[in-house]
Structure 1
Amino acid sequence: MTRPLRYLLVGTHVPASGAGGGMVRYVMELARGLAARDDVELHVLAGAGAQAAFTGIAEPDRVHTLPGHGPAGSAIERLAGGRVGGRMDVVHGTKHLLPRGVPGVGVLTVHDMLALDRPFDFGLAKRLLVRGPYLASLRAADALVCVSAATRDRVTAYLPSVAPRAVVVPHPDGSSLTAVAAEEVPELAGRTFALVVGDPSPRKNVGLVVDAWAQVRRHAPDAVLVVVGPDSWGPSDRGDAFAALVAAGAVAPMGHVSDARLRWLYEHARLVLCPSLAEGFGLPAAEALAFGAPVLTSEDPALAEASAGRAERLPGRRPEVWAEAVLAHLRTPAPPRTPVPARRGWADVVDETLEAVRRAGAR
């Protein structure tokens, strides 16, 4: 019988809680899927103190740790070979970097090209320390697993030579939130609200819908804009009207919320707004549609791909257009919810990733 693939999954950006944004969720779901397979022996490279995130997923002696954190950790991660004992068949970087010094088929998940497309959305240290290693990792990888066709297009625009090694393995078109029970957010129960999910970094464009909300409130004074997401890791743009609208109770910033509360918000939002100017996949749009919410998106290609023609697309620099679109929804009765059934899940992501790995190994 063929022995299982010794598979090193690099998850050094995952906190000890195992909870976080789209990139964290990607690693956790991929780890669970790989661990469930008989043909894979899963190893994980975790950040210092974050072993607990993988408890019950990988065997304890197969969770290897890496010292260092923050932007400086990028340089350490690239030289992580000495932290892992024995040879690996596969080494899979899941956030920008592929460790050197670990033999095996090198796989890099490409979530986006923001480090090159929008460098000034990042702090100075990250701009200086990530771009070079990221480009080196893209060139060195035997397989590039792109989370959308839009992301693959961005990669090959910068590096045409990697096109034969770049494959598209999209995220599930549903939501892993369907696996948790919804938890009510009491302060919003019975209220009319729109939801935007994203940090306040400029490319997320949260400021556009906040400023649009100032216009919405003049005609719908009881409507609330709920903003969910962590703080930005660099420059922020919450909109000119943010402080005044929060003080007036028109905008409710909630920061990070649990998956149970996020599900409830998707299920009860009158509509979900996705104004981002640049995405790799567009998880909020896919999740909102999975719960049957009406969705407005920008014209970003990844968001268009994630919503697959089921969202209304609007220009990303026109707050007055967003205000008009929101008011048009609020002035009509809420339609019956029609959740979009998922056609692919995380098991499909795992299957297609392993297929790309094996093709790369055969090459």
Structure 2
Amino acid sequence: MPTDRARPVRWLLMAGHVPQDLRGGGIVRYTVELARALQRRDDVELHLLTSQQAAGSLAELTGSEERIVRLPARVPDPLVPAFERSLLSRTLASRFDVVQGAKHLLPRSVAARTVLTVHDMLLFDRPADFPLPKRTLLRRPYAGALRQAGTLLCVSAATRTRLTQWAPELAARTAVVPLATSPQLLSSAATPVDGLACKTFGLVVGDSSPRKNLAVAVSAWAQVIEQRPDAVLALVGPPAWGVEAYGPDHARLVASGHVVQLTGVDDGTLRWCYENAAVVLAPSLAEGFGLPAVEALDLGAPLITSLDPALVEVSGSDADHLRADDVPAWADAVLRHLSAPRPTRDRQPRTWDDVAAETVAAVSST
């Protein structure tokens, strides 16, 4: 970090993975919200590394086209990670005080303080969850970036524990900076879902990959409807991107209307789902943070999670915690919530200004 207090820190946030519409999964949302919060700070001059297509949209986050660094148009998407790791430093030279990788990578040999956000260690712990090209081409560069970074920002203490188990020598360079619910989600007008508006329903938010363990939630629901045939399970997530794992009861429950799938919903629809669900289920086998659990609690929903350390960490005593493979226990817990009033919590949501402040402080101190 510079010692010259007369000017703000020139901070480059790598956002080449952010699409033109600024929408996407958890890492996209992290990058966009952190950019907005950093831009609000007087001590940071935010710059963004972007694709050619997203440059215009992301320039609005910085307030100036001059603060956009574009990836070369001639680099095809599959080769962007290799470019960012091996060739980007030539483009950056010594223009920035801080270069932050928001998704797995940092430019090698860059003349700046390097910061890497560690969302999880799943590329090492669960490589089979990823398409072959990604796990083949990304693991070594990710490992190199982890060892290179001057500051490693772990999104949870659970992720920091896993990182330091993988490489104990990195402990002194780590800090925990938890995530926050999107302000757009908290402020959007709730939009009812026609097929759920008059029904008692449970909610799962996340993709359909094996790690998310949807099969347990769906199989538990098959037991739930034996006592509550009016109950519906809503599965909200992105379009499938790999192997899906819904379990043996899925097709039957979809056909009977007891499972409803919603894809690509907007913030208003997601907010309504959280605010009207009788219970939210987070049965995941492994998480780096577990943002849907925090979103559920911030919007007042009852919550059941697995015993995954990150999910237990972010939800604490505000949720029930069950073994990820205990289908009867999940069914019993759901039935209790279906018969109980929604809890009243005095909860002040964490903000992205908090995330930005802790990010800047961590970079200054490590």
Mapped to 1, the partners of 2:213 and 2:79 lie a distance apart of 28
Aligned 8 A contact 2:94 2:111 in 1: no
1:28-49, Cα deviation, whole Å (9 max, x unpaired): 1110111112221111011341
| 2:48 matches 1:41 | no
How many angstroms does 1:232 deviate by? Answer: 4.1
Residues 44 and 62 of structure 1 are in contact (CA less than 8 Å); yes or no, is this contact kept in structure 2?
A: yes
Structure 1 CA distance for aligned equivalents of residues 182 and 346 of structure 2: 9
* Equivalent AA in structure 1 for residue 179 of structure 2: H
Change (3 A) 1:144 1:172: same
Letter of the 1:33 partner, please give it: A
Amino acid at match of 1:74: P
- 1: distance between equivalents of 2:133 and 2:285? 23
Percent identical: 50
Return the match for 2:358 from 348, 352, 357: 352
- CA displacement at 1:315 relative to structure 2: 0.6
What is the DSSP-based 3-state SS (H/G/I as helix, E as strand, rest coil) of the residue aligned with 1:272?
Answer: strand
Segment of structure 1 superposing worse, 196-205 or 80-89: 80-89
Q: CA deviation at 1:61?
A: 2.0
Which amino acid letter does the alignment assign opposite residue 49 of structure 1?
Q
Shift of residue 217, structure 1, vs aligned partner: 1.8
Using structure 2 for the length normalisation, give the TM-score: 0.93
Of 58, 66, 69, 1:64 maps to 69
* Aligned equivalents of 1:85, 1:100: Cα separation in 2: 11
In structure 2, the CA distance between the partners of 1:47 and 1:339, relative to structure 1 (3 Å rule), is farther
Secondary structure of the 1:292 match is coil
Q: Note if 1:18 corresponds to 2:33.
A: no
1:289 matched to 2:293? The reply is no
Partner of 2:159: 151
The one-letter code sitting in structure 2 at the alignment partner of 1:66 is L
CA offset at residue 99 of structure 1? Answer: 1.7
Larger mean Cα displacement after TM superposition, 186-195 or 51-60: 51-60
CA distance in structure 1 between the aligned counterparts of 2:340 and 2:123, rounded to whole angstroms: 42
**Residue of structure 1 in register with 2:12 after alignment:** 8
Q: TM-score, normalised by structure 1?
A: 0.94
Give 3-state SS (helix, strand or coil) of 1:186's partner.
coil
Aligned to 1:300: 308
State whether structure 2 residue 180 is matched by structure 1 residue 172: yes
What amino acid maps onto 2:8 in structure 1?
Answer: P
Check whether the contact 1:228–1:253 (CA below 8 A) recurs between aligned residues.
yes
- Tell me, in whole angstroms, the C-alpha distance in 1 between the residues paired with 2:244 and 2:40: 40
- C-alpha distance in 2, partners of 1:185/1:139? 46
Which residue is equivalent to 1:77?
A: 84
Q: Secondary structure at the match of 1:185?
A: coil
Which residue of structure 2 lines up, in the alignment, with residue 94 of structure 1? Answer: 102
Instruction: Note the C-alpha offset of 1:299.
Output: 0.1
Call closer, same or farther: CA 1:71–1:197 in 2, change over 3 Å: farther
Please give the per-residue CA displacement for 1:45-89, whole angstroms capped at 9, x wherever unaligned.
113412244142111121222254655432122132244475210
Structure 1 residue runs without a partner (length 5+)? none
Instruction: Say if 1:9 and 1:94, in contact at 8 Å, map to a contact too.
Output: yes
| Unmatched segments (≥5 aa) in structure 2 | none
Aligned length: 358
Q: For residues 194-234 of structure 1, what are the alpha-carbon distances to aligned partners after superposition, in whole Å with 9 as ceiling and x for unaligned?
A: 00001011111112111221121222111111011113433
Letter paired with 2:69 = H
Cα distance, 1:339 vs. partner? 5.6
Structure 2 contact 278–342 (Cα < 8 Å) conserved: no
SS across alignment from 2:111: coil
Match of 1:51 in 2: 55
* Distance of aligned partners of 1:234 and 1:62 in 2 relative to their CA distance in 1, 3 Å threshold: same
- Partners of 2:312 and 2:333 in 1: how far apart? 17
SS of 2:317's equivalent in the other structure is coil
1:290 partner letter:
D
